[in-house]
Amino acid sequence: MSEATPTTVTYDTADELASATADRLAAALASAQAARGTASVVLTGGRTGGAVLAALRSAALDWSSLDIYWGDERFLPAGDPERNETQARAALLDHVPVAPARVHAMAPSDGEFGDDPDAAAEAYAVLLKDVPTFDVCLLGVGEEGHTASIFPHSPAVLESARTVVAVRDCPKPPPTRVSLTLPRIRTAAAVWLMTTGAAKADAVAAALAGAAEQDIPAAGARGQRETLWILDRSAASAR
């Protein structure tokens, strides 16, 4: 499959980025719903992603016709404040009428798979077997170029067969996570990488200059139709 060449959009501030990206996401999902009667989105953890979700609360979407997935999850007990699901519910999902059965959270460490992240990853991979693509996959970017829970020179970034993997000894706490792999991320129609702040500028510049995904995993996050880097001026400052 050939993926879309990255394009960028830059905003003056993180607040402007969050508001504009929420509008952009609402439009993209509404367009999918108008065309197919349904839409799907992959959520990300992190501050930037959370700000976009909070800005989405007022969107005029058919929330009941939306499938919600995660690109990664911190492998912690259900309800733990550090879980991406917990943060997404606080920012958005508990404030809009989503269909509970269409919120597809990755298993917690005290759920049906117990404290086994490999089993949790395999279960999510099985769920995704019936999901050939996503309309929009939202991703954050780390200072060293990670995206989702795929870090440079890690087993996850080298994974070419599996779609969801357990991540251990993650440099960004908490250490144990579950993450989509780059091949699975690349099944999305649109991949949007959203990041702010000068600390991300070198990773952004390297990724957009064509860095190898083993060195800058975010460079390997591309959509089938669209790969959009959504930046504030600080994150775009090293280009």
Which stretches of the chain bind ligand 6PG, using CB under 6 A? 44-49, 72, 74, 84, 140-142, 146-149, 172
Report, in Å, the least distance between residue 178 CB and ligand 6PG.
10
Report, in Å, the least distance between residue 140 CB and ligand 6PG.
2
CA distances from 17 to 193, 220, 230 (A): 12, 23, 7
DSSP bridge partners of 138 = 192
- 35 Cβ neighbours under 8 A, 6+ residues apart: none
- 69 Cβ neighbours under 8 A, 6+ residues apart: 40, 41, 42, 43, 104, 128, 131, 134
Report, in Å, the least distance between residue 37 CB and ligand 6PG.
29
- Look at the block and give the residue holding tokens 């908490």: 174
Report, in Å, the least distance between residue 200 CB and ligand 6PG.
7
Report, in Å, the least distance between residue 71 CB and ligand 6PG.
6
Cβ closest to ligand 6PG, residue 72 vs residue 232: 72
Cβ closest to ligand 6PG, residue 63 vs residue 75: 75
CB-closest chain residue to ligand 6PG: 140
DSSP state of 197: S
DSSP bridge partners of 166 = 178
Cβ closest to ligand 6PG, residue 40 vs residue 48: 48
Distance, in Å, from the CA atom of 116 to the CA atom of 108, rounded to the nearest integer, reads 9
Cβ closest to ligand 6PG, residue 97 vs residue 171: 171
CB atoms within 10 A of CB 98: 19
Cβ closest to ligand 6PG, residue 88 vs residue 98: 88
Report, in Å, the least distance between residue 20 CB and ligand 6PG.
16
- Look at the block and give the residue holding tokens 């979407």: 61
Distance, in Å, from the CA atom of 185 to the CA atom of 224, rounded to the nearest integer, reads 10
Cβ closest to ligand 6PG, residue 62 vs residue 202: 202
